[in-house]
């Protein structure tokens, strides 16, 4: 019996079998099936998350959504937007040291990273890109640690996108541009980096805009974006060590859309009892 058969009456859904299910429900159940999620609480959380993202008109802006539910590497790897076990569907491949649990996935800071197989240059526009990282670890790094990133040349910052959530008391990030640095007192919560014009990049923590920086875009990375490190064309990759409980990659977000995304993710994390 598939997990779709379990508890759907209690969840207040139409029968999830075949084409009789609502499109919203089919999207949720497709993910729940392949991820093997049998917990009714986790099923409800994913179904509500899909509902919320669609109602907020964010679903179509997403290329990849990683909800990190189920507590194992096998359940954590799936892309909610397209839950197929292929590179083209941007499912995660975990490399090096990771700790997987019900609260998320923690890279070890030296070898751990997740390959998204999402080539920023091939899948997104130079001036139309966002990525997000829900951090459950309070860590003020003393050295360079990229929580997510892809770079053509990390030394100059050209053709580079990535985010260091908290480093020496600052958030340091770039969205197809050079770095923006802003004071940041905590590495807990949802961090969003976005660009929706050629002249500005924005960074948010939860529903607060930390910076709207007049930094022009310089070009797109030529490599795939990684979670837990900066993927680039040189040897230094700058591994990070913060537990993630949610990530997205997609088109650029306005400040209103960034707030809507936080609201969706905050509700999801609270429902699972792991909000920070």
Encoded tokens for 119? 């080539």
Which pLDDT value is given to residue 1?
A: 41
Residue 8 has pLDDT above 50, yes or no: no
> What length is written for the chain?
276
Structure-token pair, residue 122: 């091939």
Of 74 and 121, the one with more pLDDT: 74
Selection from 99, 233, 106 nearest residue 159 by Cα? 233
What's the confidence (pLDDT) of residue 156? Answer: 58
- Given a cut of 60, is residue 17 above it in pLDDT? no
Q: Is the pLDDT of residue 10 over 60?
A: no
Does position 11 have pLDDT exceeding 60, yes or no? Answer: no
Phi, psi of 35 (to 5 degrees): -80, -10
Residue 61 has pLDDT above 50, yes or no: yes
Report how far residue 21's alpha carbon sits from residue 218's, in angstroms, rounded to the nearest whole number.
Answer: 45
Query: E strands of 176-217, at which residues?
Result: 180-183, 189-195, 201-205, 208-213
| Confidence bin at 127 (pLDDT 50/70/90) | very high
**Residue 137 or residue 2, greater confidence:** 137
pLDDT higher than threshold 80 for residue 117: yes
pLDDT per position as a tens digit, 160-207: 899 999 999 999 999 998 889 999 999 999 999 999 999 999 999 999
pLDDT band at 100, cuts 50/70/90?
Answer: very high
Alpha carbons within 13 angstroms on the beta-carbon side of residue 230 total 28
Over pLDDT 90: what percentage of the chain? Answer: 79
DSSP string of 7-52? STTTTT----SGGGS-HHHHHHHHHHHHHT---HHHHHHHHHHHHH
**Crossing angle for the helix pair 23-35 and 40-55, to the nearest 10 degrees:** 140
Domain 66-257 has CATH 3.90.1150.10: no
Q: Which two structure tokens, joined as six digits, stand for 178? A: 């050079």
pLDDT at 19 over 50: no
In this predicted structure, what is the pLDDT of residue 14? 45
């Amino acid at each position: 019996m598939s997990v779709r058969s379990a508890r759907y009456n209690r969840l207040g859904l139409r029968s999830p079998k075949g084409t009789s299910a609502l499109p919203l429900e089919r999207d949720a159940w497709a993910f729940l099936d392949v991820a093997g999620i049998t917990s009714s609480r986790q099923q409800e959380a994913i179904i509500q998350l899909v509902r919320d993202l669609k109602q907020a008109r964010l679903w179509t802006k997403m290329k990849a959504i990683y909800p990190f539910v189920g507590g194992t590497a096998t359940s954590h790897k799936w892309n909610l937007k397209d839950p197929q076990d292929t590179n083209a569907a941007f499912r995660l491949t975990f490399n090096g040291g990771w700790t997987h649990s019900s609260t998320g996935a923690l890279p070890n800071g030296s070898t751990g990273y997740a390959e998204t197989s999402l080539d920023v240059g091939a899948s997104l526009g130079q001036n139309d890109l966002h990525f997000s990282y829900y951090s459950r670890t309070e860590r003020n790094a003393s050295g360079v640690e990229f929580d997510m990133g892809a770079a053509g040349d990390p030394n100059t910052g050209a053709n580079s996108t990535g985010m260091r959530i908290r480093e020496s008391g600052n958030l340091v990030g770039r969205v197809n541009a050079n770095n923006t640095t802003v004071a940041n007192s905590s590495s807990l919560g949802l961090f969003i980096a976005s660009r929706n014009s050629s002249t500005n990049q924005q960074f948010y923590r939860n529903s607060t805009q930390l910076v709207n920086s007049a930094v022009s875009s310089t070009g797109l990375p030529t490599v795939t974006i990684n979670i837990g490190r900066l993927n680039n064309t040189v040897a230094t990759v700058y591994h990070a060590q913060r537990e993630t409980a949610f990530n997205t990659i997609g088109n650029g977000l306005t400040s209103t859309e960034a707030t809507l995304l936080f609201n969706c993710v905050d509700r999801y994390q609270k429902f699972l009892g792991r909000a920070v």
